[in-house]
Structure 1
Amino acid sequence: MTAATSSTWLRVGATVAAGRLRPPVGSSRRRSVCGAARVLTGLGVRVEVHVPATAWPRTGTGLLLVSNTATALDPLALLTVVPGAAVAGVPHRLAGVPVPAVPAVSARIATHLRLGTPVSVRPEEGVRGGAGLGRFSPALLAAAVDAGAAVCPVAVRWRGAASPPPVGRSTVAAMRWLAASPGTVAEVHLLPALSSAGATPRELATTAEYAVAAALEIPSPAPSRGSGPLPGPAPSARGVGRRGSFSEA
C-alpha cells in the first residue's frame, strides 16, 4: 500500500467514524443523502448525473429504478441522485451510511411502490465477466406490474485511475479500489421510463437490460429461449441531456 493510498484510507476511516459519531441531523432521508455524500466525498468521488430529455413521470405510485451492478457502493451514488428511494436487498447500513433498505421480495417492493416510494433494484444475475452485462432477472420487476408503476432504467459506471473497478457486492473491495483510484467519477445515467401497462416482467427486464447496455455501450446478453419478443425497440442512450454533480444536502 502506497503512502497516498494509506492517507486516503485514513481519511475514509475518519469520514465513516465521523458519520457514526456525528450523524447528519434532520429527517431519515436527509441523513441518508448527507451520509452518502460525505462518504463519497471522503473517497474522492464525484457523482456525474445524466438525465433523460423526457422527465420521469409523476404518478400516484413510486418509480421502480432498475440498474446494473457496477460496485457495492452504487446505492450511495443513487441515494444522492434520487433522494428518498428505498434500496432493495442491501443492509440498513452501507459503509456506515444509514440506507432506507427494503427486502428484495417482489410483494414487499410492490407495497412500497403503492405508497409512493421509489425503489431501486439491481436485478443483474450473477457476476458478469468481461465487458458485458449480465441478464436482468424479471422476478423483482413483477412488483412494477403488480403496483402499476413505471420502470426507470438506470445505468451506473465508475471511471477511475485504477481500472477496472471490482465486480460484485463487496463493500471492502470497492472502498479499497477507490482508495487506490483518487479522482474517480461515478456516472449515473437516468434513462427514459418504461410503462408497465400491458407488459410482462420478462419484457420489462429485457427492455431495461438493453437500455442500460446501450447507455454504457457494452454488450447485452442474447435473449434466452422463451423470453418472447421485446415490447417495441430497445431504448437507446440518445436523449440523455444535461450533466450535473451532487452536492451535500
Structure 2
Amino acid sequence: MTAPTAASGPAWIRVGATVAAGRLRPPVGGRRRRSVCGAARLLTGLGVRVEVRAPASAWPRTGTGPLLVSNAVTALDPLALLTAVPAAAVAGGPERLAGVPVPVVPAVSARVAIALRAGTPVSARPEAGRPDGRGLGRFSPALFAAAVETGAAVCPVAVRWRGPATPPPAGRSAVAAVRWLATASPGTVVEVHLLPALSSAGATAEELATTAEYAVAAVLEEDGAGPAPSRGPRRACEA
C-alpha cells in the first residue's frame, strides 16, 4: 500500500481506528450476530451507508435456503450483503474481511448444495472474468447447479456504489477498497437491490445464470436510484 498523502491522513486515521475497534471490541452474541454487527459497524465507521431495496415480490420461504447471486464491485460487497441478508453464508472468500468474521462455504457446487439443503441462504458472486475490470461480466453457471440440484430459489441481487469518489476500484482487493474509502469524504452509499426470485424448477443452470445476469444488468443500467430504501446498516444490530 502506498503511503497516504497529508490530505488523506485524517481519513486513514479514521480507517485504522475503525478496523482496530472492530478487532479489540467485537460485537457480543453468536457468530451470526458478530458478523452482521461487525459489518454494519465497519461500514458505518468508514462513512458508508447501506440502502437495502426490497424485492417487488417477497422471496419464497421453502425448505431450502435461497441462492443469492450478485455482481462484484468491491471486496467489501459481502459486508453490505451481510447487513441486507443476515443469515447468508458467502461462497468462497476469506473468513475475515477487513477484520470482520464472515460466514463462508467453499465455492463448490456440492458444498453450496449442502448448505442450501440445510436451509442456509448462500451468497455468490458468479461473474466470470471481465477484460477491462469494469461493467458486468457474464454469470458462470457453475454454482447455479446447486440450486437446480436442491430446488432452491435463485435470488438476483444488484450491488451499486455511489458517492464522491466514484467509480470504486475494480477487482476484489480489500486493501484497494479500503484505500478508496479512505480518500472519499463521508457520503458514500452502497445500494443493495434484492430482486424477485427465480424458480429453479425445470430450469438448467445455464438458463438461471443468464436470467439472473439480465435481471442484475437491468438495475445497473438504470439512471435513478429506485424506490426508497427499506433499511440500512444502523438497524442491522438492533434487537
| CA apart distance, 1:124 | 0.3
Contact 2:109/2:145 (<8 A) preserved: yes
Deviates more, 1:83-92 or 1:130-139: 130-139
| Residue identity (%) | 75
Query: Where does structure 2 lack aligned partners over 5 or more consecutive residues?
Result: none
CA root-mean-square deviation = 1.6
**CA distance in structure 2 between the partners assigned to 1:4 and 1:84 by the alignment:** 39
Q: Give, in whole Å, the separation in 2 of the partners of 1:117 and 1:12.
A: 32
Does residue 1:246 correspond to 2:220, yes or no? no
Q: Partners of 1:49 and 1:164 in 2: how far apart?
A: 20
Q: Which residue of 1 aligns with 2:194?
A: 190
**Equivalent AA in structure 2 for residue 179 of structure 1:** A
2:62 counterpart of 1:59: yes
- Correspondence for 2:216 among 212, 232, 246: 212
Which one-letter code corresponds to 1:157 in the other structure? R
3-state SS, counterpart of residue 74 of structure 2: coil
Q: Deviations over 1:31-56 (max 9, x none)?
A: 00110011101110000111112111
Q: Are 1:120 and 2:123 an aligned pair?
A: yes
2:41 matched to 1:41? no
Alignment equivalent of 1:203, drawn from 196, 201, 207: 207
**Contact (CA 8 Å) 1:128, 1:167: kept in 2 or not?**
no
Counterpart selection for 2:132 from 129, 134, 144: 129
Letter in structure 2 aligned against 1:210: Y
For 1:196-229, what per-residue CA distance to the aligned partner results, in whole angstroms no more than 9, with x for missing partners? 00000000000000000001117xxxxxxxxxxx
Q: Using the alignment, how far apart are the partners of 2:212 and 2:62 within structure 1? A: 20
Gaps of 5+ in 1: 219-236
Instruction: Give me the whole-angstrom Cα distance separating, in 1, the residues matched to 2:50 and 2:14.
Output: 19
Q: 1:93 aligns with which of 96, 107, 111?
A: 96
2: CA distance between counterparts of 1:41 and 1:128? 32
Q: Provide the rounded CA distance (Å) in 2 between the counterparts of 1:128 and 1:68.
A: 15
Normalized against structure 2, the TM-score is what?
Answer: 0.91
Matches within 5 A, 1:133-212: 133-182=136-185, 183-212=187-216
Seen in structure 2, the aligned counterparts of structure 1 residues 121 and 128 have a Cα distance that, compared at 3 Å, is: farther
In structure 2, distance between residues paired with 1:134 and 1:199: 21
Report the CA distance between 1:131 and its aligned residue.
Answer: 5.5
